[in-house]
Amino acid sequence: MKITVDADRCVGSAYCQRIAPALFDLGDDGFAFVTEPDVTGAGAAAAREAEAACPSMAILVQEA
């Protein structure tokens, strides 16, 4: 799976980073970025959970 964060939509809630700290981090500007864009297995499940929890719908998880 491929993970992306739309920087224009991100509001810096950090839900993604709390749900999947191995996949997301926050930049100096307070907005999320992806640290592991390609995931499988448990990482894919965590990515989907973060996608669903994002209040601004800035995370997109797509099949590779």
> Residues 6 or more apart from 8 whose CB is under 8 A from it?
none
Counting the structural domains of the chain, the total is 1
Q: Can you give the residue range of the structural domain that contains 36?
A: 2-62
Q: What is the CATH number of the domain that holds 34?
A: 3.30.70.20
List C-alpha distances in Å: 2 to 28, 37, 64: 24, 5, 6
Contact between residue 51 and residue 17 where contact means Cβ atoms under 8 Å apart:
no
The overall pTM is greater than 0.85: yes
- Residue 50 burial (C-beta neighbours within 10 Å; 0-12, 13-18, 19+): buried
pLDDT tens by residue, 6-64: 999 999 999 999 999 999 999 999 999 999 999 999 999 999 999 999 999 999 999 97
